[in-house]
Amino acid sequence: MTALAALTVAPSGALQAFVSPDFWIGVGVLAAIYGVFTLGLQLNVGNTGIVNFGQAGFMAIGAFSMAILVVKLGWPFGIALAAATAITVLAGVLVALPTLRLREDYFAIVTLALAEIIRYTAQNARGLTGGNQGLLGFDGAWVNVASGVADDLDRLAGLRSGRPDLLPLLVVAWTLLLVLAAWLSALQRTPWGRVLRAIREDEDAARALGKNPFAYKLQSVAIAAAMGGFAGYLLALQLIHLSADSFQPQFTFIGYTILVLGGLGSYAGVVGGSVVIWALLEATRFVDLPLSDERIAALRFMLIGTILIAVMVVRPHGLFGKREEMHLGS
């Protein structure tokens, strides 16, 4: 009783943060963005056995293509989204065509290098991407729709967020995440999905059955690239201001942390893993530690590193993963 009284009389900043809707809206948006991003990794790593370290690059291609089409060429937002998705899928195919035959560790390094080339290009091609200043003003159509939705949510349900467009973005991002997760899970149960897993388990056996592993892997990378593109659009809308700096390789590695925490092969695990990781990461912002922002940022990444190592050492099939679905190459 006294403890409860103490909490209500002098609520600490930390506890207040955990019950504030804005905290959970922020976590929800980030979890959905990274969730969509990681669904693509799950398709590649968990269900095809391809170690794709270049997902942040595909995300950058999607986000920048959309923003450039809207800002520089004046295309309508919806058409730009469709075109940017086509560009991202094409990029996935172009990347995969020469590299898929490489050994898995080489493929990992090459895709990481490609993602870095894409990031440097976004940084240096100033006329197109705005360089270090980045791009602004690609989200006019979205903000119009979002403010209408935000008003409706406020009027009908009494829901509102500190930044008005975040609540609509949360709804859109989670709808997209759940629809894509359900679609990919359904794909796993089709003959196509079974061939992917056969390739993951034994490529030669799949070939002996008359399947062309290369074609299936190519499709796997192309779909993963599209997921990266979708995550890129969501990220762009969340950031408002799009710059190359947002596509550092650590984005991909946070994706891998979510992936292994959720468990390889499980799309539901991606959704759960993303929520857990982002609740943890955002919590470090709200807990009142007597530390500088820089140290708190360092702590966040130390947390990521620790989770990655701990899961791989203690429970390599992940929190929600099945042991028989684990494929880590050997």
| Count of residues touching other proteins (by CB under 8 A) | 52
Bridge partners (DSSP) listed for residue 135: 242
- Sorted by sequence, the CB contacts under 8 Å of residue 204 that are 6+ apart come out as none
User: Contacting other proteins (CB under 8 A), which of 22, 83, 93, 109?
Assistant: 109
By CB under 8 A, tell whether 110 contacts other proteins. yes
Q: Among residue numbers 115 through 144, which ones bind other proteins (CB under 8 A)?
A: 116-117, 120-121, 123-124
User: Contacting other proteins (CB under 8 A), which of 34, 138, 230, 256?
Assistant: 256
128 versus 308: smaller Cβ distance to other proteins: 308
CB of 186 to other proteins, least distance (A): 26
User: Contacting other proteins (CB under 8 A), which of 3, 19, 189, 330?
Assistant: 330
Piece of 109-117, 133-141, 156-164, 223-231 that binds other proteins (CB under 8 A): 109-117
Token pair 């990681």: residue: 38
CB of 53 to other proteins, least distance (A): 9
Q: For 283-309, b where at least 16 C-beta lie within 10 A, e where not — what string?
A: beebeeeeeeeeeeeeebeebbeebbe
Token pair 């099945």: residue: 322
14 versus 117: smaller Cβ distance to other proteins: 117
Bridge partners (DSSP) listed for residue 242: 135
CB of 214 to other proteins, least distance (A): 4
- What's the sign of the alpha-carbon dihedral 173, 174, 175, 176? positive
214 versus 320: smaller Cβ distance to other proteins: 214
By CB under 8 A, tell whether 308 contacts other proteins. yes
186 versus 297: smaller Cβ distance to other proteins: 297
Token pair for 124: 């240096």
Residue 242, phi then psi, degrees to nearest 5: -95, 120
CB of 39 to other proteins, least distance (A): 18
CA distance 49 to 187: 16
Please give the helix or strand (H or E) that residue 139 lies within, else none.
none
CB of 158 to other proteins, least distance (A): 41
Site string for other proteins, 175-214 (x = CB under 8 A): ----------------------------x---------xx
Token pair for 35: 């969730």
CB of 197 to other proteins, least distance (A): 16
Piece of 16-24, 75-83, 101-109, 178-186 that binds other proteins (CB under 8 A): 101-109
* Distances in whole angstroms, Cα of residue 177 to Cα of each of 21, 83, 224, 270, 309: 20, 20, 13, 10, 27
CB 258 within 8 A of CB 38: yes
99 versus 185: smaller Cβ distance to other proteins: 99
What is the DSSP code (8-state) at residue 42? I
Q: Among residue numbers 19 through 58, which ones bind other proteins (CB under 8 A)?
A: 45, 51
- Sorted by sequence, the CB contacts under 8 Å of residue 273 that are 6+ apart come out as 38, 257, 258, 259, 260, 261, 262, 263, 318, 319, 320
CA distance 256 to 274: 10
189 versus 294: smaller Cβ distance to other proteins: 294
Query: What SS3 class is residue 288?
Result: coil
Positions that interact with other proteins (CB under 8 A)? 45, 51, 98-106, 108-110, 112-114, 116-117, 120-121, 123-124, 203, 213-214, 217, 250, 253, 256, 260, 292, 294-295, 297-299, 301-302, 304-309, 312-313, 316, 327-330
